[in-house]
Chain A
Amino acid sequence: MSRSPSPTDAPAPKSDPDLFFPASDSEDEDYVPGQDGEADSPFKPTPRARKGASSSGATVRMRSSPSADVKPTVSRDTRAVSTDSDIVPFSPVKRPAASSSSSSTGGSSRKRPSPRRSPSHAIPASFTGGYLGEFVCEGWSLSKGKGYCTPGSKISFERPKPKPVNSVEAESKFADRAKEKVGPARLVNGKMVHAKVGAVKAKQATLGSMMAKKAAPAPGKKGGDKKAPVDQIIRFRNDRGFEVGRLSVGEAGFLVHLLDTGIISLAGHVIDCPPVLSTGATILLSVRVYLTREAFVQVEKHDRANDGSFWQEQGETVEEEGMRFRKDALGSLFSRIGVKPIRSNALLLAQKKNGKAEINEKSLQHFSDKPKLASRGSSPSKKSDSSGSKEKDKKSAKNSDGEEEDEGEGSGDEAEKLDEGQMNEIDSIYRKAQQGDNLLEETTPPSTFLYTLRPYQKQALTWMNARETGDSSSVRESSLHPLWEEYAFKKEQKPGEPIEIDSDNEDVDPSRKFYWNPYSGEMSLTFPTSNTKARGGILADAMGMGKTCMMSSLIHLNRTGDVSDESLPLPETDEPPSKRTKFLQVTLSNQWRAVPTAPKPAAAVARATLVVCPVSLASQWHEELGKMSEKGSVNSLMWHGNDRVDVGRLLAQEGNKRVDVLITSYGTLASEFQKWRRNKDKANYEGGSIYDHEFLRIVLDEAHNIKNRTAMVSKACYELKGQRRWALSGTPIVNRLDDLYSLLHFLRLEPWGHYSFFRSFVTIPFLAQDPKALNVVQYILESCLLRREKTMRDRDGKLIVDLPPKTVELQVLPFSRPERLIYKHLEDRAKRRFIQMDAEGRAMSNYTSILAMLMKLRQCVDHPLLVLSKTTEEDGAEDKLLDADTGESTVSLRDMIAKYAGAKDDPDSTDGEVDSAYAKKVLQEIEESGTSECMLCTSEIFDEVLLPCYHRGCQDCIVNWIGSCEDQDKPAMCPMCQKGPIAMSDLRSVQRQRKRINPITGRSTRAAVTNGNGKEEGEGKDEAVTIGKVDLVSSTKLRALVRRLEVLRVEDPEMKALVFSQFTSFLDLIETTLDKAGIRYLRFDGSMSQSQRATTVEQFGKPSKEPVILLISLKAGGVGLNLTMANYVFMMDTWWNEAIEQQAIDRVHRLGQNKPVYVTRYVIRGTVEKRVMAVSARKTALINASLGGGAQKDKGASLADMRKIFGLDEDDEEEEEM
């Protein structure tokens, strides 16, 4: 880092070089170009370090030693230059010389958590720096005359003085804490540091600094091009201290940042120059580059645990940007010098070949054009001390904001979603990552765990235990960290010596090796392994394999955390959480009672496990844990609802009331999180939130709930404090790779848990179809994910899970005629509207209304009445308007549906009365003939209807026949006797009563509940047949379902079945129909309380002598529930995402199921459903966010999907075949 006081003030204060040049350095005296006596020569850390130690702790000393010693310099420097503040525009980012200021902020920056140093990053005390290599470049003379330099003369380099800049990027957090004027901020090795701006006396107006204003922005800076012009000047002096010239802009570009941050130092000599210099003359230079000790100081990852604030919004942007500059600059430097890695990941090499720069570029783009968040950039914190150019302020604010981790829009990128092929690739990655998993040892859980684990579950226990305790022996071998490259320092050749060919072979002295991460810009002297500090992982076994069970066994196995090694007490938590929270209800006595009573060492051990799961699963967790645990061994408690007890007190309880497992829901957590965020910084905040407690283990069940990293619930999970983190999910990647990121972030698996990192290394290459990206994913998964599937086999080739077969039947049903008419009407209308909007380009802005239209269509497919219930007056009006507009049929939907439902409440239906003589005759005839084949479908008659000519058939068949005739404009005759014509209203339903006892009401129900004006024959006389008016108010799907259930009832009298629909209103209708049919049912939906749900599931599980149907709303009960008592599943409608349906089916097809499972999916031919299925099969999972309840809308490219769904895509013109 070269810096000099202004030449005017103190012209060339060339000090004795011996003072600065490290003794350990090579013979080359020119090495350190710094002239300022206080320049933080990295080569002399030891004496300074002692000095630094006094102000910072011992832990910090090593790390900050190069900078801790320069306090006087910095304050002087900044003082010296800050007078320029008014005249020199200066980019906040490019502030030079800040590297030395890390400790100058004194107390304020001390609050910044010191990074946890991983041992792998330790820098040997003896290490001072290393010679990287040299390159030749061009400089321009700034001086005139003779004698400044000659070929061969040594030169030193310097950066112009720092201009005082109001650090727009300095965060108020720091500024506020410091309560003092804070100088320019800049990133030093990932830390924000500020130079103190003291009283400014010294003046400085060098030529250089004047020129600096005019200097063009560096062309080489990719990230910088959106910034204000950046000072790109590197000047050089001769050995007498006279300024000779500056490096050409192109050359200097990448060096500037590196010099400014002090991670390199330069030396050099003149190769060639004109004998007499003139301004602008070209001087050929040889520049030697040294990496300083500073370069290897571990870059601080933001330490979320330590930093209680909401880290995503603060403290991230500048760091990230700095790292990016550093990364890019080092990259350029390396390629300029021609340094090649001795060892590099094959992946990296491959990427280099096809353009690493491209990837960088892309990731940069991603970083910089998210203007949407710009508004946040003007948050007051950022402006606290800004008095500089506002424009610049804005720019940088915008820019830095773009770098924040959460780009709301980013995840809406349709292109990121995985298509089917890509999902297949993911599958194969899972598979590869699974290799060797079945070689894991088996661990038997402690005896307090009452269940017997299957072998594969025991293997999982081994794996999980190893992940938790850090016992790496049984963990799959951790390979070379794929992101790092190995380099070696060159041997510096002495001047005049023959050039030594440095053969880049393996036998490089290990002490000369160093490692560089071209993705993060980090450097290290020690071999970087992939070893992570994260404890925990992703247990991604396929659904129904007993993840809950495995996790429970782990809870039994590892009961307590280890204090020593995990270094629990976080810098910010001055007191153990439990100590503080214990007394929180007695605030007044806090002060004096806390100390004597708190059992300090014991309390410090985090012991409890926090389980976060969907609310529907909470009680299941509770029950299962109870069942699996020996009494008193593991106590669990559900923590949700409004009457939540204080967590701190809860967990501090001992003895019988001790709580080992706390179970909460995502929703509860999110609201707790918001509460905590609101309150935590208030003066009178008392703690006691779940966030104030550190858990031994955090388990996210159905962890894909946090796949959206910007969602509140995800943030709530990230912020939890826990030593060990587990994510359980059968679908860790739902439909885009970024889903995985969120889990990794929760696990704090470094470095993958950094969004920019993950994105530039995984997502973007993957989208660019770079197959190598999958290697990375595989690598990540290998280290932290365990996944087994039901079809996998163990060592002996046996299936690890022996589940009964599952049969999925897709039933494509045709609409009945009235249904079809209504549906067509709706669909045409929706199509018209969509086309109109699309043409006007308003389709995306009217997204919601399009969704609503689609929703209606899908409801209509289930049952036309569902649409009626939603049809409001407005709709009707609009309907007519539309119809009038187009001049098409003036029949409104309302009328149509009214007609449909008309059979029920037609007022003039007196002629529908069945006269008793007729009825008697018919009854007699029917009695005699008994049930028979339907003349149309040749099966047993279902929903028998009677024609005027006494011929009978299934309602469906007859109605279809009449409809078909109407379609062809011909009279509908009786198919048998050709009498007719017959109309719908001529039909009479025949109900053959089967006696059954309804166990719910306990009384005998009559199946023949006929509607309103139907006539019940001989009530009380127990006659078996009733004739009534035909109830047409049903739907195709509904009838198909009941029909099937009727058959099943005969085949399997104790059958239990699940019926899924996403519309609870449809479930209502199903209820009515089941009532009529006398089939017993239970209901499970989102409107039920937790206890109601639990009761329902329990009821359903009870053995029963008759069939029981459980009607489940797909959203409420689609996940997690264990319903293995049923073996029939009916999916009444299609969901946007196949995975969700799969989940639903797996409620039944899972461990514990011992009967074959039959799944029936109902789809109506030629409707939106089929197209939805096609879309969902492509995994594009349209609108999952908006339909899934998320706030975010995936508007992106789903327009195309919309077109498809509306059938406007020529490709899939109504092909009827399935």
Chain B
Amino acid sequence: MSALPKRILKETERLMSDSPPGISAAPKDDNLRHFDVSVSGPGQSPYEGGIFKLELFLPEEYPMNPPKVRFLTKIYHPNIDKLGRICLDILKDKWSPALQIRTVLLSIQALLGAPNPDDPLANDVAQHWKENEKAAIEQAREWTRMYAQ
């Protein structure tokens, strides 16, 4: 195991000491590149009140390559599939090494508040969202109650 780059150490330190509101992240004991994350659903969103668990992994190439993030908690969201995978540009081609774990998690939190059914990952959910947004939101709320509380 190579030494952890200074940047990761720094980021971790900052995440632990000064985490953004509604977000907490802590590395696992056995692998400091592997984080347990929990994000609370943003207000005014169907996910409000829910605490969503995620996992985040920093690949060897980080920060040249983006971290890998996945929802562990079941969530009803057009950009998140049932395996928890997230469709978010900064986690893919829009990644920039200037971004950090903190910014990534904030972006994910923001994604919860602004679902984008036009760029779907979970097609059925996106379909539902487009056809009957209200029912879909209700469904999301229902899931949040069921799984995230």
A interface residues (Cβ-Cβ under 8 A, vs B): 811-812, 935-939, 957, 960-961, 964, 970, 973-976, 978, 1165, 1216-1218
Contacts and interface: CB of A to CB of B under 8 A. Distances in A.
- Rank and list the top 8 A-B pairs by shortest CB-CB distance, nearest first: A975-B98, A964-B64, A975-B96, A935-B98, A936-B97, A975-B97, A938-B7, A812-B2
A1218 B1 contact: yes
Nearest to B5: A937
Given A975-B97, A978-B96, A938 B11 contact: yes
Contact of B97 (A811, A961, A1217, A1218): A961
A964 B5 contact: no
A976 B1 contact: no
Contact of A1217 (B2, B63, B93, B94): B2
B60 interface: yes
Contacts of B99: 975
A138 B122 CA distance: 99
Nearest to B64: A964
30 contacts: A811-B3, A812-B3, A935-B97, A935-B98, A936-B7, A936-B63, A936-B98, A937-B5, A937-B6, A937-B7, A938-B6, A938-B10, A939-B10, A957-B97, A960-B64, A961-B97, A964-B65, A973-B96, A974-B96, A975-B96, A975-B97, A975-B98, A975-B99, A976-B96, A978-B94, A978-B96, A1165-B2, A1216-B2, A1216-B60, A1217-B1
A905 to B, nearest CB: 29
Interface in B4-34: 5-7, 10-11
B131 interface: no
Interface of B: 1-3, 5-7, 10-11, 60-61, 63-65, 93-94, 96-99
A970 to B, nearest CB: 7
Contacts of B63: 936
Which residue of A937, A957, A970, A974 has the most chain B CB atoms within 10 A of its CB atom? Answer: A937
Nearest to B93: A970
Contacts of A1165: 2
A903 B83 CA distance: 48
A958 to B, nearest CB: 9
Nearest to A937: B7
A626 B99 CA distance: 64
Given A939-B10, A961-B97, A975-B98, 15 more contacts: A811-B3, A812-B3, A935-B98, A936-B63, A937-B6, A937-B7, A938-B10, A938-B11, A961-B64, A970-B93, A975-B96, A976-B96, A976-B98, A978-B96, A1217-B2
A961 B62 CA distance: 10
Nearest to B9: A938
A812 B93 CA distance: 28
A964 B61 CA distance: 9
A79 to B, nearest CB: 85
A936 B7 CA distance: 8
Which residue of B5, B60, B64, B65 has the most chain A CB atoms within 10 A of its CB atom? Answer: B64
Nearest to B61: A964
Contacts of A938: 6-7, 10-11
A1165 B3 CA distance: 12
Contacts of A975: 96-99
B18 to A, nearest CB: 14
Contacts of B2: 812, 1165, 1216-1218
B101 to A, nearest CB: 11
A1217 B2 CA distance: 6
A899 B64 CA distance: 23
Contacts of A811: 3
Contacts of A957: 97
Contacts of A973: 96
Contacts of B7: 936-939
A961 B1 CA distance: 23
Contacts of B96: 973-976, 978
Contacts of B98: 935-936, 975-976
A961 to B, nearest CB: 5
B62 to A, nearest CB: 11
A56 to B, nearest CB: 76
Nearest to A933: B10
Which residue of A935, A973, A974 has the most chain B CB atoms within 10 A of its CB atom? Answer: A935
Nearest to A1218: B2
Nearest to B8: A938
A429 B149 CA distance: 65
Contacts of B65: 964
Contacts of A964: 61, 64-65
Contacts of A812: 2-3
Contacts of B3: 811-812
A975 B7 CA distance: 15
A269 to B, nearest CB: 82
A960 B11 CA distance: 20
A625 B53 CA distance: 72
Given A973-B96, A976-B98, A939 B60 contact: no
Contacts of A974: 96
Nearest to A973: B96
A970 B98 CA distance: 17
Contacts of A978: 94, 96
Contacts of B97: 935-936, 957, 961, 975
A961 B6 CA distance: 17
Nearest to A957: B97
Contact of B6 (A939, A970, A976): A939
